[in-house]
Structure 1
Amino acid sequence: MVKLRLKRCGRKQRAVYRIVAIDVRARREGRDLQTVGFYDPINNQTHLNVPAILDFLEQGAQPTGTVYDILKKAGIFAELQRNRKRRAWTPLHEILLNINRRAWTRIREIVSLAFTENP
């Protein structure tokens, strides 16, 4: 499983973090799959590679708590929802929607006929 988490860099008393996609079994400073951004808590700077982050999140990567807060503040999850809605609406969905509409209209006709006819 892949996680988006912080990897500590910088010197003593001057921590800077890289936001990386990494296997959950790897250690904190272990080998990462890809660096997708950085976070400097002292200067309050953040740089994110949004397309790479969205790709990892769509593939099922789980962000840690701190990374989740950083991504939420940057509006990544709103973008992820827009991408999911955009991809979810396919011609197959349109076909199924039309089938459901026709089925419901037919059911309504049958029910209305059943209640209007006198035995």
Structure 2
Amino acid sequence: MVKLRLKRCGRKQQPTYRIIAIDSKSRREGRPLKELGYYNPLNEKTQFNLPEIVYYLKNGAQPTDTVRHILNKAQVFSRLKLDLNENF
């Protein structure tokens, strides 16, 4: 199963995270299938590759709780619902 999760980057006391698609059995710092965006918790900045995130979510990728919260704040799920409604 593919998961959308965070991969930690940055120095001590200055974490930044990459939002990645990865096999659920891989470790946190393992090799990702695709890097989908960035999240900086210190200044609350995010950057997404929205078409890729929507692609993985439509194909069954499961976000972790933290990634789900970040995507909710960016209203990605509402855009995903709009895309699904347009296709039917």
Give 1:70's aligned amino acid. Answer: I
| Residue 92 of structure 1: aligned partner | none
1:53 aligns to what SS in structure 2?
helix
After superposition, what is the alpha-carbon deviation per residue over 1:31-73, rounded to whole angstroms, capped at 9, x for unaligned? Answer: 0000000100011110011000000000000000010000011
| Residue 38 of structure 1: aligned partner | 38
Give 2:11's aligned amino acid. Answer: R
| Residue 77 of structure 2: aligned partner | 77
- Alpha-carbon distance between aligned partners in 1 of 2:64 and 2:74, rounded to the nearest angstrom: 15
Q: How does 1:57-72 map to 2 (within 5 A)?
A: 57-72=57-72
| Residue 11 of structure 1: aligned partner | 11
Structure 1 runs of 4+ aligned residues shifted over 6 Å read none
- Alpha-carbon distance between aligned partners in 2 of 1:43 and 1:76, rounded to the nearest angstrom: 20
Give 2:44's aligned amino acid. Answer: N
TM-score (norm 1): 0.73
Give 2:14's aligned amino acid. Answer: R
Q: Give unpaired runs (5+ residues) of structure 1.
A: 89-119
Q: Give unpaired runs (5+ residues) of structure 2.
A: none
Higher relative contact order (CA 8 A, sep 6+): 2
| Residue 2 of structure 1: aligned partner | 2
- Alpha-carbon distance between aligned partners in 2 of 1:15 and 1:64, rounded to the nearest angstrom: 18
- Alpha-carbon distance between aligned partners in 1 of 2:54 and 2:27, rounded to the nearest angstrom: 23
